Amino acid sequence: MPRDAHGHLTAGRISPQRPVPKDIERPEYVGRAEPDEHGHGDTYTAGEVERIRAAGRIASQAIDAVGAAIRPGVTTDELDRIGHEFVVSHGAYPSTLGYRGYPKSLCSSLNEVICHGIPDDTVLQEGDLVNIDITAYKDGMHGDTNRTFLVGEAAPAVQDLVTRTEEALRRGIKAVAPGRQVNVIGRAIEAYAKRFGYGVVRDYTGHGVGRAFHSGLIIPHYDAPHYDTVIEEGMVFTIEPMLTLGGIEADIWSDDWTVSTRDKSWTAQFEHTLVVTERGAELLTVS
């Protein structure tokens, strides 16, 4: 039952778990309830950064493959199959599969779903927007990225939301420099989003990533001065703003994962993993 009488999304049928070849290295949390406490810090050597880049490239290329299949009539489960097969065929593990019990290899978040939508029998329709979020784990490192796609022709306001959310990410990335506090990132994103009256989601944030999927470092996307961690060269984290056409109140569905806007306003997101350089930031999730 993927949409109700108002056209709002509802939970669908989730397909059986997809297998991962035995020779692919699993993250430590797979088969456990919770990830280990990590506390290994958020800075990386040049060699470690190259391993995160290799994982991040696979994640980005997997999104390319999924994006090429996006059209009206396709189910989000089919998109999961494509992403899963791309990641495992490149010798990597899809980090979301078995993360705190999450059942699929990517997140597919449509329309009013902010994030963490579970692929199921939902059929994409002309005019939808859909975010695809993929994290790949290889050689001990995670790379995390997402993009939002339009399905066929979308309403002008939806097209603008998607374009401006990607621009908001770009502005957040441009704010990164060693010696600044992490709160400069959200300040730049929120200042831009406010011009258009968009909601800037606060309950979900960017995060440290690399040895751990989520390291404990938090990167807010709104102006949050108390997040005063100083950015250092060699730090690796994500920036992943979620902007809405309405409010920022969120509801979590009874599947314990899917997050939607309470007012059902549509929402878009873009995400990159980056490393802090001497002058700014370098993206690690490019194809």
Binding residues for a divalent metal cation: 133, 144, 207, 240, 271
Residues 241-270: x where in contact with Co ion by CB under 5 A, - otherwise, as a string = ------------------------------
Footprint of Co ion on residues 127-166 (CB under 5 A)?
Answer: 133, 144, 146
DSSP per position, the chain: --B-TTS-B---PPPPPPP--TTSPPPTTTTSSSPPP----SB--HHHHHHHHHHHHHHHHHHHHHHHT-STT-BHHHHHHHHHHHHHHTT-EETTTTGGG--SSSEEEETTEEE-PPP-SPBP-TT-EEEEEEEEEETTEEEEEEEEEE-SS--HHHHHHHHHHHHHHHHHHHT--TTSBTHHHHHHHHHHHHTTT-EE--SS-EEB-SSSSS-S-EE-SS--TT--PBP-TTBEEEE--EEESS---EEE-TTS--EEETT---EEE-BEEEEE-SSSEEES---
Q: How far is the CB of 224 from ligand MF3 (least distance, A)?
A: 18
**Binding residues for ligand MF3 (CB under 6 A):** 96, 99-100, 102, 107, 116, 133, 135, 144, 207, 240, 257, 271
Residues 194-233: x where in contact with Co ion by CB under 5 A, - otherwise, as a string = ----------------------------------------
- Residue 51 or 116 having the CB closest to ligand MF3: 116
- Residue 264 or 272 having the CB closest to ligand MF3: 272
Among 238, 244, 258, 265, binds Co ion (CB under 5 A): 238
Choose the one of Co ion, ligand MF3, none that binds residue 102, judging by a C-beta under 5 to 8 angstroms depending on kind. ligand MF3
Q: How far is the CB of 107 from ligand MF3 (least distance, A)?
A: 5
- Residue 107 or 243 having the CB closest to ligand MF3: 107
Choose the one of ligand MF3, Co ion, none that binds residue 96, judging by a C-beta under 5 to 8 angstroms depending on kind. ligand MF3
